[in-house]
Amino acid sequence: MKKNTLIVIAGLFFLMAWTTASAERYVPDQHPTGIVNWGNGKAYFFSGGQYIRYDIASDKADPGYPKNINAETWPGVIWTDGIDAVVNWGNGKAYFFKGGQYIRYDIKADRADPGYPKNINAETWPGVIWTDGIDAVVNWGNGKAYFFKGGQY
């Protein structure tokens, strides 16, 4: 995966421009529900209750993956059966979404911030109308983020 590659997830469809086909064999059997560039040369692919850590420079998954989502691998992320979406906000925080809730994750501390999960609502996410959950989020990197639900954004 090269810098500036756009990843699009829409329902069961997963589209991405790969530099090689090597990553495809490492993605868990189900369609990815969340993909995030961690900003440190690694990307994470989530599917069901599992994830892989992908090395962008070598264009392959790190050894020992997939792993389960649990308290040891993702401290404070309580959804061990999977997530709906994840986004790196670009400020040292990432957000995990599941149903009508979200968790803010501190990338440097490698754990969820205290007091989460919280509900998606007009107070916590102004302008996001889908309080029952979202399908994907893309941080465009220009101060804008796009939230997707079904065929809308």
Would the pLDDT of 117 be above 80? yes
Q: What H or E segment, with its residue span, contains residue 46?
A: strand 42-47
pLDDT-based confidence at residue 16 (cuts at 50, 70, 90): very low
Residue 30: the pLDDT is: 61
58 or 5, greater pLDDT: 58
Domains detected in the chain: 7-148 (2.110.10.10)
Average pLDDT of the residues in 92-108: 97
Would the pLDDT of 44 be above 90? yes
Would the pLDDT of 18 be above 50? no
> Torsion angle of alpha carbons 72, 91, 8, 41, nearest 10°?
-60
User: Hey, what are 54's tokens?
Assistant: 């992908």
Quote the mean pLDDT of the chain. Answer: 85
Would the pLDDT of 26 be above 90? no
Rounded Cα distance between 96 and 116, Å, is: 10
Would the pLDDT of 9 be above 50? no
How distant, in Å, are the alpha carbons of 1, 2, 5, 99, 116 from that of 16?
9, 11, 8, 25, 31
**What region does 58 belong to: left with phi over 0, alpha with psi -120 to 50, or beta?**
alpha
The CA angle 16-22-24, to the nearest 5 degrees, is 55
Average pLDDT of the residues in 46-62: 93
Average pLDDT of the residues in 132-151: 91
